[in-house]
Amino acid sequence: MLLDKTVAVVVPAYNEETQIGIVLDTMPDFVDRIIVINDCSSDRTPDIVQEYIACQPVHPQQIPRIPMEETPTLFNRANIIIQEIRKEEEALFVRHQIYNDNSRDRIVLINNHQNSHVGSSIANGYKWCREHAIQCTAVMAGDAQMDPDELASICMPVISEGIDYVKGNRLRNKAARRMIPRKRYFGNSILSALTKFASGYWSVSDTQTGYTAISLSALEELDLHKIYPGYGMPNDMLIKLNIAHCSLREVPIKPVYNVGEKSKMRIGRVIPKISILLIKGFFVRILKKYFLLDFHPIFLFYSIALLSGLTGFYFLIRIIISLVRFGSNSITTGTYLGFIALLVISLMSLGIGMWLDVYDNEKLQK
């Protein structure tokens, strides 16, 4: 525990037989539960975790599952409906089985029935922590690429200051440019820029790091089964957290490489997929947060920018076709002026919308 608050670490693991032992051996003593999600590994990863479970001492603190049943009263109908929704959502998570569910086991192994990728694995871990009312839930990869000595700095803002979501930032470290492979550094920079725009957390950087901690209240707000299943999970999380008005903080951490890890990410495939995810996520965020949940001028300005931009693009196509077919004399002055006016309106509306977006979300970045 940290400051009398329960702490758990979700460890997604796929074929990490050479690394998972390092993660378990170096886990700080203040961590109450280590939730290892075996994503249908084909190596000895689950066997190694089971060996650790068999040898682990009984943890002094019992953490039972919180019952979902609540006695109906005149005033808790909303709570009953939330419980019903949670039960319906059970079937939407990746099918899995809890190997051991002793309330005093420090290490808990959850085996996915099929390989579902890192996002789905973390979602299953989050679900376990929410059901057991863990007050701070961190995520550390199963490949030992995260320094356990930095875990306290990741968790403390959640525990002592009430921050909803804390994430590490490797780019602030002076060694980042030399340690992080160039392709990854370049890809991270592109995705970080897109994620600022899509998520509304305009000051965020190093969006691809998975070293994070989240509060119980934030877990309660999210639809965990809808978390993006692949490597775009950290980006998708930021969008969902912003829609839920969750506060965010970044803390500096060290980049860790060459500790025996074997990357399963293919940059050439990941960047296009995550880019599409972020474009969709931007429109979802603006629609939900600034129209459906609370109408805001941000929605109006972004909508004007989009509509005038699309109309201006139509005018541009007409101009190009006319130039190719009939020459410059076929294009009227009105067509030119219409295109220029629409372009100006689109850019001005986009700029105002972005300015309002930055201003509105400043309060969420602590």
* CATH code for position 177: 3.90.550.10
**Whether residues 288 and 306 fall in one domain:** no
pLDDT of residue 265: 63
The answer to the question of residue 1 being in a domain is no
Domain boundary among 292, 319, 343: 292
| Residue 2 located in a structural domain | no
Query: Do 197 and 169 have their domain in common?
Result: yes
Cβ partners under 8 Å of residue 214, min gap 6: 126, 136, 137, 138, 158, 164, 165, 166
127 and 26 in one domain? yes
Q: Looking at the 3D structure of the chain, how many domains does it have?
A: 2
Domain presence at residue 244:
yes
Give domain status of residue 32, yes or no: yes
Q: How far apart are CA 193 and CA 205, in angstroms?
A: 8
240 phi, psi to nearest 5 deg: -65, -40
Looking at the structure, do residues 228 and 350 belong to the same domain, yes or no?
Answer: no
Asked if residue 204 lies in contact with residue 192, where contact means CB atoms within 8 angstroms, the answer is: yes
For residues 321 and 187, membership in a common domain is answered with: no
pLDDT at res. 264: 63
Mark whether 311 and 259 lie in a shared domain. no
Q: What pLDDT is stored for residue 70 in this prediction? A: 82
In a domain? residue 30: yes
List the pLDDT tens digit at each of the 366 positions of the chain: 999 999 999 999 999 999 999 999 999 999 999 999 999 999 999 999 999 999 988 888 899 998 877 888 889 999 999 889 999 999 999 999 999 988 899 999 999 999 999 999 999 999 999 999 999 999 999 999 999 999 999 999 999 999 999 999 998 888 888 888 888 888 888 889 999 999 999 999 899 899 999 999 999 999 999 999 998 999 999 999 999 999 999 999 998 887 766 666 666 777 889 999 999 999 999 999 999 999 999 999 999 999 999 999 988 888 888 887 777 666 777 778 888 999 999 999 999 999 999 999 999 998
For residue 347, the enclosing domain spans 297-364
* Boundary (domain end) residue, out of 272, 292, 312: 292
pLDDT at 309: 95
CA 363 to chain CA centroid, nearest Å:
19
Whether residues 178 and 228 share a domain: the answer is yes
Identify the pLDDT of residue 190. Answer: 87
* 21 within domain boundaries: yes
Does residue 90 lie in a domain region? yes
Which of 237, 266, 292 delimits the end of a domain?
Answer: 292
Do 166 and 230 share a domain, yes or no?
yes
At residue 119, the pLDDT reads 96
3-class SS of residue 210: coil
Residues 17 and 162 in one domain: yes
Same domain for 198 and 123 = yes
Asked if residue 40 and residue 129 are part of one domain, the reply reads: yes
pTM beyond 0.85: the answer is yes
Which residues lie across from 252 on neighbouring strands?
Answer: 169
Same domain for 316 and 193:
no
What region, left, alpha or beta, does residue 15 occupy, with left being phi > 0 and alpha being psi -120 to 50 degrees? left
